[in-house]
Structure 1
Amino acid sequence: MKKEVKVHSLFSDFDISLFKAGKHYRLYEKFGAHIMELEGETGVYFAVWAPTAKAVSVIGDFNYWNEQEHQLNVRWDESGIWEGFIPGVEKGNKYKYKIQSGINDEKFEKADPYALKCEHPPNTASIVWDLDYEWKDKKYMATRENKNALDKPYSVYEVHLGSWRKNMDENRPLTYTEMADELVSYVKELGFTHVEFMPVMEYPYDPSWGYQLTGYFAPTSRFGDSQEFMTLMDAFHKAGIGVILDWVPSHFPEDKHGLGLFDGSHLYEHPDPRKGYHPDWKSLIFNYGRNEVRSFLISNAIFWLDKYHVDGLRVDAVASMLYLDYSREDGEWEPNEHGGRENLDAISFVQELNKEVYRSFTGVQTIAEESTSFPRVSRPVDAGGLGFGMKWMMGWMHDTLEYFKKDPIYRQHHQNDITFSLTYAFTENFTLPLSHDEVVYGKKSLLGRMPGDEWQRFANLRLMYSYMFTHPGAKLLFMGAEIGQYEEWNFDTSLDWHLLDHKPHQGIKQVLTDLNKLYTSQSALYEKQFSAEGFEWIAYDDNQNSVISFIRKGNELKNQLIVVCNFTPTVLKEYKLGVPTKGKLKEIFNSDDKKYGGADIKNKAISIKQETDHGRDYSATITIPPLATVVFEIK
């Protein structure tokens, strides 16, 4: 029997005009399921966009999933919005939309695109929920702009929440609440300034790692509810640690309850498969030229920054959005109106997204995972850029890993691999990523890539991390890097925490902890990390010894550090180094320290002499340990 659905709307005429124009960036305040009181009755207001539907019903555990009982009303203004208030529906009720297509009368059961909570997969219903929570991070939020700025240290620990650590007694991942204790204290101990979560938005398929989303506005129910995720955010902020979320506007899966063919038409995806289907991931691509879809996506980005106090969004697979021919052969794509391969709709969408994010929030960053040489990714939109705050430096990652897997005896022939990144390091605001993608699919773990005997492998890994932390740019390391995992990452199991029972692995954890201390305490390493003014070569061409040396500079002229890297297992004694000024060299970091498992070959205070070397008026004679990085202050 059909029951009353009261006519009610949260949309004003202005909301509708903004939605149609693609300029409504707070759609989560209107669409979805909203608990409210109307005319003395408590219930839920539902609203969903389905412009080609003939009929839309709300089905749920409150009406025995009967599509006849609660049929929504379509708005008169041709917006395609169906809405209505259903008395008696409560927080925790499960629901879906039953949509009858106006094209062929086919019926679909769809999850709510704006649901605040979803059932635990493999179940697919949406759940009526709220975002009531008393935040405790007011102090952090007031100072976030300073902590999260580009001239501050930015050291990121990337986490897959399902496999960081397990509750071994119950054979399950930790909950958001448990992570608020264990994960937060661990990241704090390591000294990272930020944590980055692989996608937390609801996803149906565990092996996708979260990159195939179906619940864009709901933290995954695998680990708890919205308020428990807020508790985790609060805990990180209390510890002074920023939180970045992976965000996926590049594609979505074809699951029947998801966005694909939502009302029987290509509503969210582009109707042309050359633009709307991703051949690599067998997923659908958003129609970036459709105004309502742009509003949906930008509203989703804003939602996490607004309602969950997120400090940054790392935007996944940007390159796949920017190019019409991405992963396509000739004949499988169509040029743009200018005859080029750029996706003009996607470019304007990204620019609009970044403008709105930075206009609406202080102290946040957007970070592009973009693997091509597309220009000005991290430059302002009004200067012709895409408007991101930072961009992943994929070239540095590739060259560095290629270099380090080579036997040191051959590295003298590949010096350019380790120095080339500095030829373009300041064309963007780069983050140096050693992410989850580098420790899967047969690529081996980072330790597994290192050549030599056991001692050399660990020394190489310490050297690589030290080179990374002294190289200009922000830093990102995937979980497990800090304990020297032997095995590749497996999303289905915990990290190999037992490795920390052994001294070489303890040494890796300690060297990363100390590198974070070095990076966050030495302003020469971060104040000008995105500017050529903050870097100067001493020598990049000592191929024979496989040594590089350079200066890192802060805002003050006296604020300089000298960094020397030896990429061979040979101890280099009496190594003469040109330096910029007189005084003494004081060693402040040495990756060969015995506490890390090194040979403990160190330098005591070294006098600087007025003798020319490397084109400089002053020089010093140092010892460079094997497979090690040494950092000096000038006193």
Structure 2
Amino acid sequence: MNKVQTYSLFTDFDIDLFKAGKHFRLYEKLGAHLIEVDGVKGVYFAVWAPTARTVSVVGDFNYWIQGEHQLEVRWDSSGIWEGFIPNVEKGATYKYKIQSDNGGIITEKADPFAFYCEKPPHTASVVWDLDYKWKDSKWMKNRKDHNSLDKPFSVYEVHLGSWKRHGEENRFLTYLEFAEDLVQYVKETGFTHVEFMPVMEYPYDPSWGYQLVGYFAPTSRFGNPQEFMVLVDKLHQAGIGVILDWVPSHFPDDAHGLGFFDGSNLYEHPDRRKGYHPDWKSLVFNYGRNEVRSFLISNAIFWLQHYHVDSLRVDAVASMLYLDYSREEGQWEPNEFGGRENLDTISFLKEFNEAVYSNFEGVQTIAEESTSFPMVSRPTFVGGLGFGMKWMMGWMHDTLEYFKKETVYRKYHQNELTFSMTYAFTENFMLPLSHDEVVYGKHSIAGRMPGDEWQKFANLRLLYSYMFTHPGSKLLFMGCEFGQSAEWNFQESLDWHLLQYPLHEGVKKTITALNKLYRTEPALHEKQFSPEGFEWINYSDYQNAVMSFIRKGNNPKDNVIVICNFTQVVREDYRIGIPHKGKLQEIFNSDDVIYGGSGVISPDKITIESSPYDGRDFSVAITLPPLSVVAFKIV
């Protein structure tokens, strides 16, 4: 057996924090770290395996032989095994060979804290560093000016494996290629942020990245950690924020992963009713175990610190919050108060959000939470979970249900659209049209639209225009911005060839114009989460399937008047109430010919009349284009 030198990066204070669940930078201690001891370079290894009898590091430097480099367990009952192995270099591959004290089971595990992993289907960890010279100081210095809740959040959701692929071999782009192609495209279309579906290492492509194994490693499918840093860096230099999907809800039971790590239920809850997810056939973290909380919160902090990430979108929050989620009666146990809420999860999520917001200025957390759980995006000090935003799943569902209806029937369903405003300000809502809406037989967003070809695209432009003028931040899945016809296929590139056709190009131009409108009109973002930022003009004209409202900013001069016509009938001399005198100037019209519309455009300026209407002292008569949203300002 080769000698492993006794060495530790842990102080007694570190151990106390770890045991208490309060150590939020564990990645600085656990894992594999390139260091120098007594003038000799090598790697310090440390792993948490409290029920292990022995732990060996096996790798390409010792021919994967168990026992050649055996770590020592700490004396402090922390369950941490550690030691320094000289002459191991960056790029070495390794795993932990763990013999359990629980029946002598031997497992071979990837490092939970590895910074880099072998490219799947290979499963070893790779010794690596995080050295990189960032060039985004301007963005980081002013980040709060981009990511505050009163700033525009128009998010382009991307699956890196299928945004674009190369040639007949259908190969992935690399992080460095994304740093050119994707950055240029997002800047061109005007999105303020990119959200990456999980980039942490995952073994199984059909999971889309939501079954993680390497929580601290960007997937090696597209390059190494520094190359992913280049991508983030380039986005920031282009003025584009970066959001990562983060998955603390569950993890796969792959043999090299976190499951049954040291021969015991170390990371997963030992009670299968709480520790197994029936929908995804995966394991659920034990949120009540202090060391697991330290692992997860450290992971969140890691991406924000070392990869300059601006926001974490937390996946499947509802599955974490409820003990009976996807479980039949008898398959779950109520909490100590007889309720269905997972109290450990609630406590964990609050602590996670407090740690993020107290450590980083100008970042956000976003919850994908599909129920009516209260105060998800309210501060913890008033009893909320502490997220910055929450996905508005009700809006998404109701809106898509409405839009798939033939226009002749829409007058009977206008309440499906107006209902969202009854709860729009109970949370800081993000309006999502995400990847989940374009798979499993749901059709693409464009494919849901009724009517002939022209009407389908007019409806699509109408949908997006309604979305961008509705209160809340926005998220659009890749391909939706140019009217992808087919459902999303994670194994293939988007159908970029469609942009040669005018109607598809027109959708892209519409999104580009809407992004500009959202960014440049303060009324559309300054009070996007406040009831002070919205006022109905008329929501009850269901006979014509028309509704109108005012979006408000800090300055009344910035107010934007929005009128939506949900049928293909041109409404001439359509009158709406206006709050004061002046002239009405059109600033956006989704029926413009440049977008593929019919070109029913308002005159340069329309005089507001002293004629009461809609409960207001003034009004104006305009021509409403078919299947359109028109936006005006009073000048």
Determine the structure 2 residue equivalent to 1:257. 256
Determine the structure 1 residue equivalent to 2:30. 31
For 1:462-477, list aligned pairs within 5 A. 462-477=461-476
Aligned-partner Cα distance in 1 for 2:448–2:625: 21
1:118 paired with 2:148, answer: no
Determine the structure 1 residue equivalent to 2:381. 382
SS at match of 1:84: strand
TM-score by length of 1: 1.00
Determine the structure 1 residue equivalent to 2:346. 347
SS at match of 1:301: helix
Aligned-partner Cα distance in 2 for 1:61–1:169: 35
| Alpha-carbon shift at residue 171 of structure 1 (Å) | 2.2
SS at match of 1:542: coil
Determine the structure 1 residue equivalent to 2:270. 271
The Cα offsets for residues 255-291 of structure 1, whole Å up to 9 and x where unpaired, read as 0000000000000000001000000000000000000
The Cα offsets for residues 370-400 of structure 1, whole Å up to 9 and x where unpaired, read as 0000000000000100000000000000000
Aligned-partner Cα distance in 2 for 1:186–1:225: 23
Contact 2:170/2:492 (8 A) holds in 1: no
Determine the structure 2 residue equivalent to 1:398. 397
| Alpha-carbon shift at residue 97 of structure 1 (Å) | 0.1
SS at match of 2:373: coil
State the one-letter code of the partner of 1:205: Y
State the one-letter code of the partner of 2:312: L
For 1:186-585, list aligned pairs within 5 A. 186-585=185-584
Aligned-partner Cα distance in 2 for 1:6–1:167: 47
Aligned-partner Cα distance in 2 for 1:495–1:122: 24
Aligned-partner Cα distance in 1 for 2:39–2:512: 58
State the one-letter code of the partner of 2:606: I
Aligned-partner Cα distance in 1 for 2:168–2:332: 52
Q: Which sections of structure 1, spanning at least 5 residues, go unmatched?
A: none
State the one-letter code of the partner of 1:446: I
State the one-letter code of the partner of 2:625: P
Determine the structure 2 residue equivalent to 1:630. 630
* CA RMSD in angstroms, aligned pairs only: 0.5
| Alpha-carbon shift at residue 39 of structure 1 (Å) | 1.0
Determine the structure 2 residue equivalent to 1:150. 149
| Alpha-carbon shift at residue 170 of structure 1 (Å) | 4.2
Determine the structure 1 residue equivalent to 2:82. 83
State the one-letter code of the partner of 2:464: Y
Q: Which moved more, 1:165-174 or 1:548-557?
A: 165-174
Determine the structure 2 residue equivalent to 1:10. 9
SS at match of 2:270: coil
Aligned-partner Cα distance in 1 for 2:64–2:259: 22
| Alpha-carbon shift at residue 169 of structure 1 (Å) | 5.1
Identity of aligned residues (%): 72
SS at match of 1:595: helix
State the one-letter code of the partner of 2:618: Y
| Alpha-carbon shift at residue 557 of structure 1 (Å) | 2.1
State the one-letter code of the partner of 1:592: D
Aligned-partner Cα distance in 2 for 1:61–1:191: 47
Aligned-partner Cα distance in 1 for 2:449–2:333: 43
Aligned-partner Cα distance in 2 for 1:327–1:581: 53
The Cα offsets for residues 110-152 of structure 1, whole Å up to 9 and x where unpaired, read as 0000000000001000000000100101111000011110000
| Alpha-carbon shift at residue 602 of structure 1 (Å) | 1.0
Aligned-partner Cα distance in 1 for 2:461–2:172: 30
Aligned-partner Cα distance in 1 for 2:624–2:167: 44
Aligned-partner Cα distance in 1 for 2:549–2:172: 44
Aligned-partner Cα distance in 1 for 2:462–2:489: 25
SS at match of 1:296: helix
SS at match of 1:541: coil
| Alpha-carbon shift at residue 167 of structure 1 (Å) | 1.3
The Cα offsets for residues 7-37 of structure 1, whole Å up to 9 and x where unpaired, read as 0000000000000000000000000000010
Aligned-partner Cα distance in 1 for 2:128–2:252: 24
1:618 paired with 2:627, answer: no
Aligned-partner Cα distance in 1 for 2:8–2:25: 16
SS at match of 1:367: strand
| Alpha-carbon shift at residue 98 of structure 1 (Å) | 0.1
Determine the structure 2 residue equivalent to 1:41. 40
SS at match of 1:58: strand
Aligned-partner Cα distance in 2 for 1:106–1:529: 55
TM-score by length of 2: 1.00
State the one-letter code of the partner of 1:426: F
Aligned-partner Cα distance in 1 for 2:580–2:487: 46
The Cα offsets for residues 73-105 of structure 1, whole Å up to 9 and x where unpaired, read as 000000000000000100000000000010100
Determine the structure 2 residue equivalent to 1:606. 606
Moved over 3 A (4+): none
SS at match of 2:2: coil
Aligned-partner Cα distance in 1 for 2:169–2:50: 46
SS at match of 2:142: helix
State the one-letter code of the partner of 1:159: V
State the one-letter code of the partner of 2:628: A
Aligned-partner Cα distance in 2 for 1:611–1:171: 63
| Alpha-carbon shift at residue 173 of structure 1 (Å) | 1.2
Aligned-partner Cα distance in 2 for 1:285–1:169: 40
Aligned-partner Cα distance in 2 for 1:296–1:395: 33
